[in-house]
A and B are shown apart, each in its own frame.
Chain A
Amino acid sequence: MSITRRRLTHVAGQIATIAITLFGLLLLTFVIGRMMPADPVRAIVGEDASQETYQMVYERLGLDRPLWEQFLRYLGDVLTGDFGTSIRTGQPVIQDILHVMPATIELATFAIIIGATLGIALGVTAAVNKDRWPDHIVRVFSLFGHSMPIFWTGMIALLVFYARLGWVGGSGRMEQFYIGLVDERTGFLLIDSALAGEWDVFRSAVNHLILPAALLGYSSSAYITRMTRSFMLDQLGQEYMVTARVKGLSRRQTIWRHAFGNIRVQLVTIIALAYGGLLEGAVLIETVFAWPGFGQYLTNNLVTGDMNAVMTCVLIVGVIFIALNLLSDILYRLFDPRTK
């Protein structure tokens, strides 16, 4: 089989895998949606509606049809981009989600920058000093970040750095009186305020972003640290490291240029996966910091039992995860010469 042919088979196989996974994902969200105790008809028609109205809406939603037919209908709707209407806001769910997503992406992006910088620095330090005290300190420090209940650390951090010390902004994305001052163009507050030249708002936004992003970053750095350490140990144990030293290169050069240079690709894939993992922390941290993002949207809808919204949120998280897995796979193939 020629190389192109083999590659094509591989791509086809991968597409089939993704299609099956997506199908399974939809089946899962459909089942969860059907299991929900909230009555979708009651939510639309209200408590005082007559039996006829109830029956009419019941049939219009297709709830009288067999389950497999309902599932096919759901499948068709989703494939045509119709995720249903949020019962709470009365708007198409997907529009709501697109509206809140930038806030979460802004938070997660800052968090991953902090987490990756911290994780890589600590991981390399630990590997270079294996089994000596810096290694142990890094191990305990990163396990600590991995073990803390992030909603609690968020509260304590708010208490200390905001209420007591006043170093950072409190809840929300900016000070109350700045809200509505900047036109929403991209939804990313930092970009919007910079575009509008409103530097006070920009500063306020950074002030509010820094604490939740640092906490999320710290919690995700544990995984990055551990992986960096083990990748680095693999490299440092190899003979070319000795050769490089014998050749007269400094220790710093061998560590950063040779060993670290070789693990960059693996690290990118790890960081892509960690980015997805941030979504989980975001749900909790957004609740604590009253951050108007995806996580808060999801929890609000869980509490009110808004079926369409919850199903779509879960679906989107699944899709993001599949996409990030695929992305890390592709990156690996693109940058690692051995996979060619």
Chain B
Amino acid sequence: MTAATASRLPAPLLALKNILGFLWRTPTSAFGLIVLGALILTAILAPVIATHDPYTQNLDNVLQAPGNGHLFGTDELGRDIFSRLVWGSRITLRIIFLVSIVVGPIGLLVGTTSGYIGGRFDTVMMRITDIFLSFPSLILSLAFVAALGPSLNNAIIAIGLTAWPPIARLARAETLTFRKADYIAAARLQGASALRIIVRSIMPMCLPSVLIRLTLNMATVILTAAGLGFLGLGAQPPLPEWGAMIATGRRYMIDSWWLVTFPGIAILSVSLAFNLLGDGLRDALDPRQMNRR
């Protein structure tokens, strides 16, 4: 692409292109990008990629070792593990997507209003945030799922309820830096309401850093979801959720290693990909690092 066409791109897209370019040049974050790209492609093309139906049982063909028409072998009900993993990528993406649209808006709303209004409201909101932050996310999610009842959607809600505080903290810190800016004062003088200022002028400014923070947290979200699935509190059988697959495979682990090995590698790759990407993003957005390279 020539400089002329690049400059015609709108500013946010240009920034995105620069960041992606930077990530692509770092081997570790490039790996992250490739894995996530593969995950999205797999989820979209699941019906094409999967060799078998993920739910069809075949009791004559249980616990088959990898090979022999089943790339990753079969499970205790004779279902093809490879196909289940492929379909499971849709569940993983669903978790990522739903958690993001729960956590992003809640965190953004709490953080910006708290930072903009300030005073006692701010103190109270930050106290609440601290209470949620004083728990490890898995334990609080466990408690919420126990209260709501085990299911994939409840697990997603529970993770959402526990993952917003860091986002709120970040959005608040950002808001505090804009609050005194001239353009906010101008909007206020024009008679804009607090709500309008928050939604139209402050939230868009916080959005980039919130999105990056969401990416950074996604590895934890994936691991928490898998952990809930493993404990039987997330996705329920026969859904091919990777954590739940490990939980059922556990009983046959000693003789049939492939039942737990492949879903685990899938979880590990996705969470590693997010961590590597997050690591790269941190470097990409740190101005000191940018100049050095």
Query: Which chain A residues have a beta carbon within 8 Å of chain B's beta carbons?
Result: 17, 20-21, 24-25, 28-29, 32-33, 35-37, 136, 139-140, 143-144, 146-149, 151-153, 155-156, 158-159, 163, 276-277, 279-280, 283-284, 287-288, 298-299, 302-303, 305, 310-311, 313-314, 317-318, 321-322, 325
Contact = CB atoms under 8 A, between A and B. Distances in A.
Contacts of A36: 146-147
A32 B144 CA distance: 7
Interface string B109-150: 000000000000000000110110011111110111111110
Given A37-B149, A155-B260, A163-B254, A149 B268 contact: yes
Chain A binding surface, main DSSP class: helix
Given A32-B146, A146-B275, A21 B264 contact: no
Contacts of B232: 303
B28 A21 contact: no
A147 B224 CA distance: 11
Nearest to A151: B230
Interface string B267-283: 11001101110010000
Contacts of A311: 143
B95 to A, nearest CB: 14
A300 to B, nearest CB: 11
Contact of B272 (A24, A37, A143, A287): A143
Given A32-B147, A147-B275, A152-B260, A302 B131 contact: no
Contact of A317 (B139, B219, B254, B264): B139
Given A149-B226, A284-B227, A310-B146, A321 B264 contact: no
Contacts of A298: 139, 142
A277 B219 CA distance: 16
Given A21-B127, A24-B127, A314-B140, A146 B264 contact: no
Interface string B199-243: 000000000000000000001000100110011110000000001
B131 A21 contact: yes
24 contacts: A32-B143, A33-B147, A35-B148, A36-B147, A143-B276, A143-B279, A147-B268, A148-B271, A149-B223, A149-B226, A149-B243, A152-B263, A155-B250, A155-B253, A155-B260, A159-B254, A163-B254, A279-B139, A283-B139, A302-B146, A303-B232, A314-B140, A318-B131, A325-B134
B246 interface: yes
Nearest to B250: A155
